[in-house]
Every structure is written in structure tokens, then in C-alpha cells.
Structure 1
Amino acid sequence: MAEVIKNRYEFVILFDVENGNPNGDPDAGNMPRFDPETGVGLVTDVCLKRKIRNYVETVKEDQMGYRIYIKDGVPLNRSDAEAYRELEVDDKTIKDKKKKDPDVDRKIRDFMCSNFYDIRTFGAVMTTFVKAALNCGQVRGPVQLGFARSVEPVMPQEVTITRVAITTEADAEKKGTEMGRKYIIPYGLYRAEGYVSANLARKVTGFTEEDLELLWTAILNMFEHDHSAARGKMSVRELIIFRHDSEMGNAPAYKLFDAVTIERKNPDMPARRYSDYEVTVRQEQIPDGVTCIRRS
């Protein structure tokens, strides 16, 4: 059986987009998300977790212990019901079961954590009240991500396109093409920061060393099986990992994040590729008890 992680981690993900829309905003006509005050581009944590989930689902193919809880086409209560069946209860008998066995809630939670990788990793709210009230509890996952922000302000562009596929017969009698629009960012380098809590892994979900290595692999490859014309060329360029020597950590997270600096090599020219930037980890700012690992 794989060993639960014993070290705290922080990490920085650097990824870029070229001529694409990394994360459209439904409230703004699906244009790229950005901070209106600064022009800095945004990608939500939900978007990044979706890519990680998709990669794990692709490579593991519903292997035991590595299924995905939040996935396309599978209602949550269908997965919740599996835990109830495992304990041979339903929404009507669960109260009586709890009176006889005070550990029922923990057993349900442990079943969900052991079977679903994304619950074991990110946590989940596993309560549904559709027809049958299924309550598998709430789990706070050891791995947390923040919004990704572009290193510099981005310049979203609306590109007009033409297509020869006409929507209706009536329109086909009048015209031979139709107009369309898509949003792109010519280039943007994004930075996301994340955390891995060994304490929560030990106490709650049982997140293991094998799970951790799969997480790093999924982050590095999360765009490799997700290419589309709308997203353009997206790539994870580097994963910078800070490994603490202890479960509770040896330094505040912000100090480690501050050690990672990104500067444009030529301030007079707009960046259009990753090589236009210099990424530096200032080793003198990393305290004792913390090891920096750079993966790409």
C-alpha cells in the first residue's frame, strides 16, 4: 500500500497561450478573463483542476482508486450512491445505521476518498438532495490551487472569421458565407500557485506519494490532450516545486513564491514566446529545510 505523503509542498505552474483563449468568460461573451483594472489575464482554479482531472481520467481509464468524481455526463448522486451501496444502506435506513455504528460517516468518506482520485486530491462537497438525500460529507482536499494570472497585461483581440457552412435553407438562398467571431490572446505567460498539505492528507483523504507523483505528471501534461482551435497553443513550460522537510512546513508560502521572479528580457518589445522571459528562482531567499525542484 502506498505511503501517505509526509512533507508539505508549495508549487508554481508557468504556462503560456499563443493565439488562443485560455479561459473564456461566459458573462462577457466568452472573451478571455482578465482583471479590468490592470489588464492582467486570469484563468480560474476550476479550469486548471478540470485539465488535471481530464488527464488522470485519460491515462488511468477508470482504474480502481483513480476514478474521477466530477466528470462530464455522470451525475454526482450516482457516485454518492455507490458509497451507500457499499455500506448496504439507503437514504431511508442511513439514520438507523448511524445509531448502531457512529463511524458510518467516516466510512462513507473513506470509501469516496479511496475510490476517487480528485476527491482524495482536491476534496469535494458530496451532498445531493435530488429525489433521494445522499450525504457523503464534505472533504477538504490537501491540494489547493489559486487563480492563474498573466505575468503581464494581456491584449484580447476579437477576430472576425468567415465560414461557408450556412445555418438554414433560407439563408443559403441569399448568401454563400456567414460571419463569425472568436477571441484570442496573441501571447500570454500565466503563473498559478498551489499548495499541498501533508497534514490534511494524513488526517482526512490519505493522499499518497503515488498520488503526488501523478499530480506533478498531470500538471506538466494537462494541456497535451486538450488541444483545440479555440485555445490555440497552450503549454506548461515549467513546474517549480518547493518541498519542506516536515509535515507542517519550514517557511511561509509567500516567501517561497516571492523567490520566483519572471522578467522580460527586452522591455521595449512585446513578448511573443516563452524565451522572451527570464525565469529565476533566487536560492538565497529559500530558507533551510526547503528544497526547490524544477521540472519541465
Structure 2
Amino acid sequence: MSEVIKNRYEFVVLFDVENGNPNGDPDAGNMPRIDPESGLGLVTDVCIKRKIRNYIETVKEEEKGYKIYIKEDAPLNRSDREACKELGVEESDDKKVTEALKKLKKNDPNVDLKLRDYMCENFYDIRTFGAVMTTFVKAALNCGQVRGPVQIGFARSIDPIISQEVTITRVAITTEKDAENKSTEMGRKCIVPYGLYRVEGYISANLARKVTGFSEDDLELLWDAIINMFENDHSAARGKMAVRELIVFKHSKELGDCPAYKLFDAVEVSKKEDVEYPRKYQDYKVCVHEETIPDSVEVKRMI
């Protein structure tokens, strides 16, 4: 494992969707998420982190130090027990595990740090995003909540989006009884004809050093995951999605050189003057006003 990062970072990601649903809203019949007041499209931070986790899992395939804590069909307490076994707690029942951890805490006041360090060393997403580990919270251990150095906000579209409902038909009938009366079945899907989204993120070198040990290698893997997060995640429902820009701001020191908002404000995304209804990335112009950024902050356009 390489050295823990020593510089603070902020970053801006631009990604687009064409004829797809980037993030369905369960409260609205799985239609694309929309800010009801502005009409701007939304994609949750949870959705974006899921793409990053999936990419890491695909690339690393359970390699030591790069397991994924939050994933499909994997109860969280199963992963928690891995750390417990390292400390000699072999119980399989949750209540007994909790009791054993409480007893262990009385004999070893550093058990919290040992558990936290094990989880951070072995699970990439805990080392990156942090986690709430329920098994340890129930045992009243301070390591139950880990605040990760990488934090990502909601993505918001540059312009208002239109959520279009498309009716589809299927020639395969569900039951033989239905087949006596009809030859097709109806369905629907919701799409966004086109939308360009912007998401902003933060990386704290201070938290990396004090808490999770997020390293330079982890950082390079994160950039790779962000750039490629849609490349192995294509589906008919999501249409065509791609990351178009990854703009990274690297500070010269651990606590940073200027407020994050000044760096985010330096990235201007707007429609070209002759475009009324954008339908492709080339309908936009992206400008980074580097003259407003302190000289001590390095700007990198990774794509």
C-alpha cells in the first residue's frame, strides 16, 4: 500500500444521459428524479457511489484490501464478523457477538481502533466513503461510524430535463389464458431524451490521515473508477451514459489553500448560444476560469 494522501482535493464530474433513466425515483413510479421547483434532473450521491463500488468490485475481484462492504446479497454483519474473528470473537449469533465485544472492550480499551483499522484496511469503500457498521454500534463501540475522506453530493442537471414516458409492447404473453385473448402485452418506460449532469466532490487528506488511511493508490483508483463508472454498467433502462469531464483541484497542503466554493464557481458550464434544446454534449461549452484560482491550487482535467 502506498502513502496516505497529503493534499486536499475537490473535483467536478460532468456526465450525460441519452434516452435513458439515470436514477429512478421509487416514490414517483421510478421516473427520473427531478427538482419539482426548477425542473432540473437529480441523481443521488448513493447512486453515484454505487457505480464506483461496482467498478472497484469488477476490477479488483475481492483482491485483498479492495473488498466492497456495501454490495448486493451480502449482509453487512457477515463482513463485520470478519473483523470480530481477527480479535478472537468466533460467535455467529448477533446477540452473542455484541455481548462478546462488550466484554472485550472492558479488557482492551483499544478494541475500537483495532476493529476500525481492520475494516478500513480490508474494505475499499469504507476506506473511501466511510460506513455505519451496525454490529459495532450495537456493542457501543466508537468505531461503528467511520467518516470517510471522500464525500460526494447530488448530481444536478445543467438545464431542466423532460421526463418522457414511452409505451412499449411485448409479443410474449405471460399466461396461456391471456394468450387466448391477446397477442401482445403493454408496458412503459421513462426516459430523459438528453441531460448533462454536474456533481461535485471533496477529498479530505486530514480524515485520510487520522481515520481511514486512504492512500495515493486509492486515489488513482478512485479517478479511474469515476471516469469508467458507466462503462461496465450499461442497460436498456439507463440508455447511453458517459462521463464527459473530470476536473480535479489539488491543494498544496492537507487543509487546503482556499474555500471549495471558489473552485467550483470557476467551472462554468453553459449551452452554446445557438442551441435551444440540447441533445448532445457538443451543445454545451465548459470553461475553467483558472485566473480566479489561487496559484497554489493545481488544476487537472483528467479527460
Give the TM-score of the pair, scaled to structure 1: 0.97
Question: 164, 176, 183: which one pairs with 2:171?
Answer: 164
Select the structure that is richer in strand.
Answer: 1
Structure-1 residue corresponding to 2:281 = 274
1:170-181 aligned within 5 A:
170-181=177-188
Structure-1 residue corresponding to 2:14 = 14
Structure-2 residue corresponding to 1:64 = 64
User: Is 1:25–2:25 an aligned residue pair?
Assistant: yes
Question: 97, 114, 117: which one pairs with 1:107?
Answer: 114
Q: CA deviation at 1:267?
A: 4.5
Name the % identity: 72
1:212-231 aligned within 5 A:
212-231=219-238
User: Is 1:44–2:44 an aligned residue pair?
Assistant: yes
* Larger displacement relative to structure 2 (49-58 or 280-289): 280-289
Q: CA deviation at 1:133?
A: 5.9
Structure-1 residue corresponding to 2:156 = 149
Letter in 2 for 1:158: E
Map Cα deviations across residues 246-285 of structure 1 (whole Å, 9 max, x no partner): 0000010000000000111134421111111110000111
Letter in 2 for 1:146: G
Write the distance in 2 (CA, Å) between the matches of 1:267 and 1:134. 60
SS of 2:50's equivalent in the other structure is helix
Q: Contact 2:275–2:283 at 8 Å: present in 1 too?
A: no
* Larger displacement relative to structure 2 (263-272 or 240-249): 263-272
Map Cα deviations across residues 55-98 of structure 1 (whole Å, 9 max, x no partner): 00000000000000000010000000111100002433222221
User: Is 1:91–2:124 an aligned residue pair?
Assistant: no
Letter in 2 for 1:13: V
Write the distance in 2 (CA, Å) between the matches of 1:165 and 1:69. 39
Write the distance in 1 (CA, Å) between the matches of 2:103 and 2:188. 58
Q: CA deviation at 1:167?
A: 1.4
Write the distance in 2 (CA, Å) between the matches of 1:18 and 1:266. 21
SS of 2:4's equivalent in the other structure is coil
Write the distance in 2 (CA, Å) between the matches of 1:94 and 1:29. 43
Write the distance in 2 (CA, Å) between the matches of 1:267 and 1:106. 58
* Larger displacement relative to structure 2 (267-276 or 166-175): 267-276
Q: CA deviation at 1:158?
A: 0.3
1:204 to 1:7, Cα distance in 2 relative to 1, 3 A: same
Structure-1 residue corresponding to 2:78 = 78
- Structure 2 unaligned segments of length 5 or more: list them: 90-96
Letter in 1 for 2:121: S
Write the distance in 2 (CA, Å) between the matches of 1:197 and 1:91. 32
Write the distance in 2 (CA, Å) between the matches of 1:70 and 1:193. 22
Write the distance in 1 (CA, Å) between the matches of 2:139 and 2:6. 36
Letter in 2 for 1:190: Y
Write the distance in 2 (CA, Å) between the matches of 1:97 and 1:73. 30
Q: CA deviation at 1:2?
A: 1.0
User: Is 1:287–2:284 an aligned residue pair?
Assistant: no
SS of 1:91's equivalent in the other structure is helix
1:231-246 aligned within 5 A:
231-246=238-253
Write the distance in 2 (CA, Å) between the matches of 1:84 and 1:262. 48
Map Cα deviations across residues 127-162 of structure 1 (whole Å, 9 max, x no partner): 149xx9696511000000000000000011000111
Q: Aligned pairs, how many?
A: 295
Q: Contact 1:151–1:191 at 8 Å: present in 2 too?
A: yes
Q: Contact 1:143–1:196 at 8 Å: present in 2 too?
A: yes
Aligned-pair RMSD on alpha carbons? 1.5
SS of 2:295's equivalent in the other structure is coil
Write the distance in 2 (CA, Å) between the matches of 1:247 and 1:51. 28
SS of 2:209's equivalent in the other structure is helix
Write the distance in 2 (CA, Å) between the matches of 1:201 and 1:267. 46
Q: CA deviation at 1:174?
A: 0.4
